[in-house]
Chain A
Amino acid sequence: MELLSGGEMLMRALKEEGVKLIFGYPGGAVLHIYDALYRQDTVEHILVRHEQAAVHAADGFARSTGDVGVALVTSGPGATNAITGIATAYMDSIPLVVISGNVPSHLIGSDAFQETDMIGCSRPIVKHSFLVRSIDEIPTVMKKAFHIARSGRPGPVVVDVPKDMTAPSEKRIFDYPETVQLRSYTPAQKGHAGQVRKALDLLLGAKRPVIYAGGGVILGNASDELTALAKRLGHPVTNTLMGLGSFPGSDDQFIGMLGMHGFYEANQAMHQADVIFAVGARFDDRVTNDPKKFCPNARIIHVDIDPASIQKTVSRIEVPLVGPVKTVLKDMSELLVQLDEKPNLEALENWWKTINGWREKQGLWTGDRFVRGKKIMPQDVISTLYEVTHGEAFVCSDVGQHQMFAAQYYKFNKPRRWINSGGLGTMGFGLPSAMGVQLAHPDHAVAVVTGEGSIQMCIEELSTCTQYNMPLKIINLNNGALGMVKQWQDMQYGGRYAASTYQDSLPDFVKLAEAYGHVGMKVTDPSELKSKMEECFSMKDRLVFMDIDIDPDEHVYPMHIATGSMKDMILSKTERT
């Protein structure tokens, strides 16, 4: 029997959970934990420069691997700095365990130095949280925290630990539980067989089907199952922003991303569909446009692990199917083979003809939907990035126009390669999340697609990258403005750029990168774009900051016409559907 302090218990629990890497920042309330960390060698700790980045890095680690990401922060400002990171993970259902220190138990509630009610602050943005009340409960709390974070619909779990719970002098028996008992929490293990059958019948009878696959497919590790079923059915597949990579982007059956800045062909197909097969997608407002006008002729099947996702925004779900996407899709494929029934091939052929017509007319990948001039076009930057990295890079994005261009023009053939804050839309996510991705995949090219606005929100992490040799490739689409804001101001506010430009105050990013010990590159000439990008990626063990001046006037299109249906889109500065 082993006696351990609370701090040691936390470290041992991480080891038991297979955690090798955590991200954090020390402070008074977690010093005992840091000392326990120092005295062990299983768990490596990455010292970030801001707690928000610790959580984003853990998040990037989790998104790219499927494992639970772990962050460790101190009480008070450490905990509140972590909040944006936790909310980001919550909105995208990312499994995290965030350990926050707190003031000693007897001081809780006294407005003690660096006290904050972390359980209260984080309540609406966590899957669950624990306040440790006795040292003995640390092993069970940690076991539960990891279980809850990774099972069912994943999400962040906060474990708030008052300082006295980790005192080195207080040792208790450490016995890590093998199983978890949570009588109130039993995520579905399998979809209802009758519903599986109904769903399949609907799909087989469909004349104009669309498979609408979201981030749940990636979270549920069901890309292979989705691809297999889609191939058997021969149906077109569209992905949400979060679902990119769940179905191979360069496959002919892929009709692009859907939604606000989605592909014309994807949005038209959704609107005209007679059957929509939603898998691990949540009918987000950035997808549906006006939910009352959503896909008027479609009969809808919705597979989701979370019953609360079903009928949440669009209420016309004909076949709800609660269960893990992986087993549901597998069950459907198996049943399809057994039934030996064919989809309606003739109807499908016609449907594909219509879709290909849309593709040719307006598809982003079938023609140039933008005008080239003397300036570098953001779309070309992403296409070049795709070419130079052979579509194999991890692409971590920030938030803004550059994010949408990346989603539109990089074809993701594998899951977990496209890392972005879809739900919360957190500027500042790109760089720190990429750190987590790079550490999890040391031999892989990891690109950060960012803007001069977003990158400045966590730019301090360039220092972390120096300390731990993270050879990220930062692709800064510099349009000298908060481009996405400016686009809306162009479109809706008569070009009045309220607080969306910087009046010549931007730093020299090349010098800035160099100041941190990295390589900086400036690109202004379209003819140099490709060679410079190749040069950038050839520096395998250096972080390279490519500051690329792009056309500042470019807008992201297509774009939904607000309050319209999915098919209603602005196609360029001069065309509408």
Chain B
Amino acid sequence: MSPGALSRVVGLFSQRGYNIESLTVAPTEDPSLSRLTVTTIGEDAVIEKITKQLNKLIDVIKLVDLTEGEHIERELMLIKIKAAGAQRAEVKRTSDIFRGQIVDVTLSQYTVQLTGTSDKLDAFIEAIGPTAILEVVRSGVSGIARGERVLSV
């Protein structure tokens, strides 16, 4: 995605006082097109305004509000956790419960990879607790509609 187009989208949010909870962007199977998932919070009227304003951007080809129908939201998290001594087994167990994968290991740390809804990732962070967490990186939400509905251009 051209930086110009991305800045128009992001700029619109700041210019009009809307907030962005998360933003993901990557090229699609058509290299001239990128797909963004933006999560934002607001009353219906505000969401409608955001939708209309985004649609006005010449760079925006298609826009859907996924929350209008059944949809799937996923986020990826990589999280570095203290895992020494007795903690080690405990972290592993918690990670298993959440269906996380340990993707990197040192003597004193685990790096866990977790995907799921943002709520699930939040819950994992809470379960591990702030003292054990060393670093967190989250991808932001990617979304897609359930069923046969397809976003095509």
A→B interface (CB under 8 Å): 119-120, 123-124, 127-129, 131, 148, 182-185, 306-308, 311-312, 315
Contacts and interface: CB of A to CB of B under 8 A. Distances in A.
A123 B153 contact: no
Nearest to A309: B52
B153 to A, nearest CB: 7
Given A119-B4, A120-B7, A307 B52 contact: yes
Given A131-B4, A306-B56, A183 B153 contact: yes
B4 A311 contact: no
Contacts of A184: 57-62
B16 to A, nearest CB: 9
B60 A315 contact: no
B104 to A, nearest CB: 35
Contact of A312 (B4, B49, B60, B153): B49
B11 interface: yes
A182 B58 contact: yes
B131 interface: no
Given A123-B11, A312-B49, A307 B4 contact: no
Interface in B44-74: 45, 48-49, 52-53, 55-62
Contact of A124 (B11, B45, B58): B11
8 contacts: A123-B7, A123-B8, A124-B15, A128-B58, A184-B57, A308-B53, A308-B55, A308-B56
Interface in B1-46: 4, 7-8, 11, 15, 45
Nearest to A182: B58
Contacts of A183: 61, 153
Contacts of A315: 45
A308 B16 CA distance: 13
A75 to B, nearest CB: 17
A47 B153 CA distance: 46
Contacts of B61: 183-184
A308 B46 CA distance: 11
Contacts of A307: 52, 55
Nearest to A127: B58
Nearest to A310: B52
A306 B49 CA distance: 12
A308 B12 CA distance: 13
A128 to B, nearest CB: 5
A354 to B, nearest CB: 34
Contacts of B59: 184
